[in-house]
Amino acid sequence: MKLPRDVSGDDLVRSLRSFGYAPTRQTGSHIRLTSTLRGTEHHVTVPNHQQIKIGTLAQILTDVATYLDLTREDLVRQLFG
């Protein structure tokens, strides 16, 4: 599945909440999300930009998918339909 090109930082933060991620801090324009869903802490940093660069989005989604034991395609499908 192709990654969406118009995802903002706020949109991604809202979407990741459904997977147990919550904002723990913000430094400048970067938001740190933490999940303890699987018994260990997992941190992801999301740039709070109007449009996240496609490579950055791909890396964030790969990292989250690995933590949740999903494929990136499954995660994209669940997040963005």
User: Does the pTM exceed 0.85?
Assistant: yes
In this structure, is residue 71 part of a structural domain? yes
In this structure, is residue 81 part of a structural domain? no
Domain count, the chain: 1
In this structure, is residue 2 part of a structural domain? no
In DSSP terms, 23 is beta-bridged to 33
Domain membership of residue 39 as a residue range: 9-75
- State how far the alpha carbon of 37 is from the alpha carbons of 43, 50, 56, 57, 71, in Å: 11, 28, 23, 21, 17
- What CATH number is attached to the domain comprising 59? 3.30.920.30
What pLDDT is stored for residue 39 in this prediction? 85
In this structure, is residue 44 part of a structural domain? yes
> What is the radius of gyration, based on Cα positions, of the chain?
12
Question: Could you read off the pLDDT of 13-71 as tens digits, one per residue?
Answer: 999 999 999 999 999 999 999 999 878 999 999 999 999 999 999 999 999 999 999 99
pLDDT band at 6 (very low <50, low <70, confident <90, very high): very high
In this structure, is residue 3 part of a structural domain? no
Pairing of the two strands 42-47 and 22-27: unpaired
**Which DSSP helix (H) or strand (E) runs through 43?**
strand 42-47
